[in-house]
Structure 1
Amino acid sequence: MKRIFSMLLLGCFALKSFGQQKPNIIYILVDDMGYGDVGVFFQNERMKSADRSKPYQITPYLDEMAASGAIFTQQYCNAPVCAPSRGSLLTGTNQGNAHVRNNQFDKALEENHTVGTVLQQAGYQTMAIGKWGLQGEEKAAPYWPSHPLKRGFDSYFGYIRHMDGHEHYPYEGIYRGKKEVYDNYVDVADGLEKCYTTDLWTAVAKKQIIEHTKGKEADKPFFMYLAYDAPHAVLELPTQDYPKGLGLNGGLQYTGKKGHMINTASGVPDSFVYSEYAKATYDHDNNPSTKELSWPDTYKRYATANRRIDDGVGDILQLLKDLKIDENTLVVFSSDNGAAVESYLPAKYVGFEPTFFSSNATFEGIKRDVLEGGVRMPVLATWPKHIEAGKVIATPSMLSDWMATFADMAGIPAPARTDGVSLLPSMTSKGKQKESLVYIEYEGEGRTPNFKEFDPSHRGQKRGQMQIIRMGDYKGARYDIKSAADDFEIYDIVKDPRELNNLASKSGFEKMQQQMKAAVLQLRRADTEAPRPYDTALIPAAEVSAKVASGVVQQFFEGDFPWVVATDGLKAKKQKISKSISDAKSTKKKGMFLYTGFVKVPTDGKYSFSMKTSSKAFVRLHQANLFDADFGYQAGEELTAEVFLKAGYHPVSVYLLKNSKANETIHIKWKSASQTNWRNLEASDLFHSK
């Protein structure tokens, strides 16, 4: 797949801006850590309040990371549970177009572009460490169809299976027993006695960074996806205190010795609690005259798990400094969804409730909810000399925006199927930040918890089918959806982050209600494996204010592109009005044609579309993926799709790759439910704004 790019392509993108070697990228993802669990986001406020009824955690290294870089105060996960959230992160698609939806853990990540394949193409060495859970189950271990090595990563070390990630000792798990840990395709768990996984993943990450910088491919940038499986699930403890020192000569070290694989693989598993938590007490009844109680062990465990992650992040950041690569390395930290109620501990322990530490800050809702507590993420990014220290980025965004961001940094265009936008302008204050589409759909089991800290309107609320969409400062939310006609609750989420003042019935919000109902139909593609009650609702036409004329806008972008590309940051070489979307004969140069305009739908109803092309192509209807004929597409293969459309003008974007001197052809046909024969999408069907 790897190709040599033309100087034209490389000159168009980020390398031109940075004028240096492509930056290394480390993306650190943790499991079920709440927005409020990080000091700089909320725990420091609890500490400063000196309120003894409000226990707090400390995260000194994450706070240092925030001080040296940026915090994102309005970044959302793509779904309120880990499998779809991580799948969307890796593929750059939101849940309206994603392959992994709902809680489909262990489902195969589709064979398509990932952050790994994109950065491999840009010349990066790619590494994945930790929890995967997207391998598919069609084949026996270790040759799963979506093993990380088959999805763009040059190396992998970690837990492949989702459920294995519920246990933080692969060899001596106190609750679920022995698990498998894979080094590429080899299970190496038998050598991992007493290896606490947070320590193990950190030690492996340090080892791989050192080996890369001193190895044969040291001239190549690297991308590391470091996915911790804590603090989620069994709240197990480390074997001992964090090793003294950090970085190259201290902290965690990978020894490579069986039975003592890392330097904390000694002592007693599940035994160590940080000193600041071991004897911690709190005013349990909010009455200073009564004796304070010790923290329940469950919360000592949770705080220790988070503090251990904090130490690991500090260790890695110091290593980058020691190796003198910190100024050319972007490090991003995030959780995959909000804090949960799961602890999976034996019965002698009290259950975990995220309200003890206000793990989701002042937001209401938890993991599995689309209330802010379930979906607002504690995101940090540091990149010395590129991101201003102490920067606060309040622009709404999603985890699926990171693929486009990393592609931008690497000097390569993102694939056209990517739903995200580059966040580089927000981070570096260079250029104009495009608006990110914040959209989530999810089918959740059960109800919201009956925590006394939550507003009565949010207690015991049935989840069912849920959706949220952001429009500026306003969030639309629906729960237990029965049809596309259900109203959204509407909140000014900036002024009302607890979602207490529903504006939907207020005068002046009628139009926004209709815009939200239309948008959530226009931006998604139905998936039979994750059915929704609005899958067959008629998709509203666009509001076309300008006059329209026959034909579509045809643009040609010159370049030796590795795939069908998003055109952000590209300038069209040629542009004209074309009467059809059928051929590309206007140039012999390599590049990509983009046709944009409207399909005029004559009557309400179900419509079938078909497409085949001699090259690679991609088609969007509104913002939904209609046809993906890019990754793995065989020339001449016919693709079909069915959509439900209201009469009117529906925006269409057709991308056609031209990587040879031959003329490329694309044929799109359609028919209504009442028609037997297909007909070409032709001039009488196509329009553009004048």
Structure 2
Amino acid sequence: MEKQKLFSISCGIAGAMVACSCAQQPEAEWKQSPNVIYILADDLGIGDISPYGQNLIKTPNLQRMSDEGMRFTQCYSGTSVSAPSRASLMTGQHTGHTYIRGNMRMDPEGQVAMPAGTYTIAELFHEAGYATGCFGKWGLGYPGSESDPTKVGFDEFLGYNCQTLAHDYYPDHLWDGTKRVEFPENYNQAEGTYSADLIHNRALQYIRSHAGEKFFAYLSYTLPHAELVLPKDSVYQSYCNLIPAKDDEAWAEQNPNRRGAYGAAERPLAAFASMVTRLDKYVGEIMELLAELGIDDNTIVVFTSDNGPHREGGANPDYFKSYGPYRGVKRDLYEGGIRMPMIIRCPNHIEGGVTNDHIMAFWDMMPTFAELTGTTRDIQTDGISFLPTLLGKGKQKEHEYLYWEFHEKGGRQALRYGNWKGVRLFVGCPEKTTFELYDLSKDIHEDNDVSEQYPEMVKKIETLMQGARTESELFDFSRM
């Protein structure tokens, strides 16, 4: 069985040592160790924003970010649902090794927690002398647990500890650090304090207050996850005018159970589009603030999403082609469920207007940030630093393969090996297990299963799948 990689990086952009071969020097000098703002959208598909082909939903600020930064076309999430994807990001491990491999609710509030001592990217930045803040949805523990945000490296937190409660945009409470903050104005009315705006404004305040020091801000926004609820402002009204009401009605007739456990949205297509544009507005305000503070060329801004687009609460990814040219949505391990938008911007350090096809995944963030900050800690990770690609200097190492697993729908696994992609379905039901093989170089939509034509490649990928993972007591395919 393959062992997790163990690497030690003793220098980087921020490091004082310059003798080792891993050092990556930018074209311009950093004013100080670069700040990092990591923006994670919730259930946003790769096709939902204009840099990846969206024409109906307006995202001018993300388009600007792409024009001024590097747009990646082959970035993958941790998996196809929230908690395990975020665990992969935080720990630098894929879902064959992370402790959290699925969404598992803990009553009365929260999810299963990471074990005490789990090392996170927040702790990496904290050890490097950064101020660290988390704003939005956490979903990797429960209040007071060992993986509460304030116990895994974040100095400051405002948001939802429980990802299930994050589906409510007018919540009765949020968590400010370890303090529960009540919103009585939201108790018995549909509109009061809109949490997404509140959390975003707190994030802006955090950036402003830490402009004079190095900081890491993890902005885990809940937009555009269901429930499709937001203030009915001018943007919402403009989409109500742009999108015919009959399109909403037709979708409702075709999909009577489309809302699931979520409340009804009067105009779900307009609401979803408005939520994406609202998210885009947040990105624009962040870039404006960085320029105002004079730190935009010393701040790396990352934008991505946790998994593919959803069909919940009245959302219709088919209408917007939210999955882009790919097959699948949230909970699928086809490309549409796990191939994410990824845009990274830092003027004068990251080349602007560049489209890059480097194959990367969320678990690459840990080693990339380790190299960036110059850590000397040995870190267990499945990732590979893509700092050489980001800065355009040095030789970029490549993955032998990328691996995912998913613990719903009977259990699923996927592995990408070069341009070959293997997908196993009903892993936990041996009598129903199937294996599909796709050649992504010829079949990006994964329409043509060629497993019968290439039995040796099937065998190769199945062997890699077996070696890529360790067993988990919490997430056991055999118990599905």
TM-score using structure 2 length: 0.85
Q: Give SS of 1:488's match.
A: strand
Match of 1:315 among 285, 292, 310: 285
User: Which residue is 2:216 aligned to?
Assistant: 223
Q: Distance in 1 between matches of 2:24 and 2:47?
A: 38
Aligned-pair Cα RMSD in Å: 2.6
Q: Give SS of 2:236's match.
A: coil
Match of 2:141 among 129, 132, 135: 135
User: Which residue is 1:69 aligned to?
Assistant: 69
What amino acid is aligned across from residue 93 of structure 1 in structure 2?
Q
What amino acid is aligned across from residue 495 of structure 1 in structure 2?
K
Q: Distance in 1 between matches of 2:200 and 2:456?
A: 50
What amino acid is aligned across from residue 229 of structure 2 in structure 1?
E
Match of 2:113 among 96, 108, 111: 108
Identify if the C-alpha distance between structure 1 residues 69 and 191 changes in structure 2 by more than 3 Å, giving closer, same or farther.
farther
Identify if the C-alpha distance between structure 1 residues 487 and 414 changes in structure 2 by more than 3 Å, giving closer, same or farther.
farther
- Unpaired segments of 5 or more residues in structure 2? 1-9, 106-110, 187-191, 249-264
What amino acid is aligned across from residue 203 of structure 2 in structure 1?
A
What amino acid is aligned across from residue 161 of structure 2 in structure 1?
I
User: Which residue is 2:383 aligned to?
Assistant: 420
Contact 2:183 2:193 in 1 (8 A): no
List aligned pairs for 1:86-97, cutoff 5 A: 86-97=86-97
User: Which residue is 1:578 aligned to?
Assistant: none
Q: Distance in 2 between matches of 1:157 and 1:527?
A: 31
Runs of 4+ residues deviating >4 angstroms:
5-16, 282-285, 482-487
Identify if the C-alpha distance between structure 1 residues 308 and 416 changes in structure 2 by more than 3 Å, giving closer, same or farther.
same
Q: Which has the larger radius of gyration?
A: 1
Contact 1:443 1:465 in 2 (8 A): yes
Q: Distance in 2 between matches of 1:311 and 1:361?
A: 22
- Deviation of the 1:240 alpha carbon: 3.8
Match of 1:440 among 386, 404, 420: 404
- Unpaired segments of 5 or more residues in structure 1? 45-55, 171-177, 242-271, 286-294, 344-350, 446-463, 536-690
- Deviation of the 1:388 alpha carbon: 1.3
- Deviation of the 1:359 alpha carbon: 1.0
User: Which residue is 1:58 aligned to?
Assistant: 58
Match of 1:489 among 424, 436, 439: 436
Identical-pair percentage: 36
What amino acid is aligned across from residue 381 of structure 1 in structure 2?
I
- Deviation of the 1:413 alpha carbon: 4.7
User: Which residue is 1:466 aligned to?
Assistant: 412
List aligned pairs for 1:606-625, cutoff 5 A: none
Per-residue CA deviation, residues 41-93 of structure 1 (Å, 9 max, x unaligned), is: 1213xxxxxxxxxxx21211111111111111111111111010011111111
Q: Distance in 1 between matches of 2:21 and 2:231?
A: 44
List aligned pairs for 1:255-404, cutoff 5 A: 273-281=236-244, 297-343=267-313, 351-404=314-367
What amino acid is aligned across from residue 494 of structure 1 in structure 2?
S
User: Which residue is 1:571 aligned to?
Assistant: none
Contact 1:31 1:230 in 2 (8 A): yes
Q: Distance in 1 between matches of 2:210 and 2:96?
A: 37
TM-score using structure 1 length: 0.60
Matched, 1:124 2:94: no
User: Which residue is 2:146 aligned to?
Assistant: 145
User: Which residue is 2:33 aligned to?
Assistant: 22
What amino acid is aligned across from residue 452 of structure 2 in structure 1?
S
Structure number with the higher helix fraction is 2
Per-residue CA deviation, residues 94-120 of structure 1 (Å, 9 max, x unaligned), is: 011100012225111233110011111
What amino acid is aligned across from residue 188 of structure 1 in structure 2?
V
User: Which residue is 1:82 aligned to?
Assistant: 82
What amino acid is aligned across from residue 329 of structure 1 in structure 2?
T
Q: Distance in 2 between matches of 1:414 and 1:83?
A: 26
Contact 1:487 1:513 in 2 (8 A): no
Matched, 1:210 2:213: no
Matched, 1:510 2:449: no
Aligned length: 436
Q: Distance in 1 between matches of 2:467 and 2:406?
A: 17
User: Which residue is 1:527 aligned to?
Assistant: 472
Per-residue CA deviation, residues 577-606 of structure 1 (Å, 9 max, x unaligned), is: xxxxxxxxxxxxxxxxxxxxxxxxxxxxxx
Contact 1:32 1:338 in 2 (8 A): yes
What amino acid is aligned across from residue 281 of structure 2 in structure 1?
D
Matched, 1:35 2:28: no
- Deviation of the 1:444 alpha carbon: 1.9
Q: Distance in 1 between matches of 2:292 and 2:88?
A: 33
Q: Distance in 1 between matches of 2:160 and 2:415?
A: 33
Q: Give SS of 1:356's match.
A: helix
User: Which residue is 1:554 aligned to?
Assistant: none
- Deviation of the 1:431 alpha carbon: 1.3
What amino acid is aligned across from residue 72 of structure 2 in structure 1?
F
What amino acid is aligned across from residue 470 of structure 1 in structure 2?
R
Q: Give SS of 1:158's match.
A: strand
Identify if the C-alpha distance between structure 1 residues 273 and 14 changes in structure 2 by more than 3 Å, giving closer, same or farther.
farther
Per-residue CA deviation, residues 423-463 of structure 1 (Å, 9 max, x unaligned), is: 11122211122223411011223xxxxxxxxxxxxxxxxxx
Identify if the C-alpha distance between structure 1 residues 165 and 415 changes in structure 2 by more than 3 Å, giving closer, same or farther.
farther
Structure number with the higher strand fraction is 1
List aligned pairs for 1:215-254, cutoff 5 A: 218=212, 220-238=213-231, 240=233
User: Which residue is 1:577 aligned to?
Assistant: none
Per-residue CA deviation, residues 5-56 of structure 1 (Å, 9 max, x unaligned), is: 9987676487762453211000000111111101111213xxxxxxxxxxx2
Contact 1:15 1:410 in 2 (8 A): no
What amino acid is aligned across from residue 310 of structure 1 in structure 2?
D
What amino acid is aligned across from residue 370 of structure 1 in structure 2?
L
Q: Give SS of 1:146's match.
A: coil
Match of 1:189 among 156, 173, 182: 182
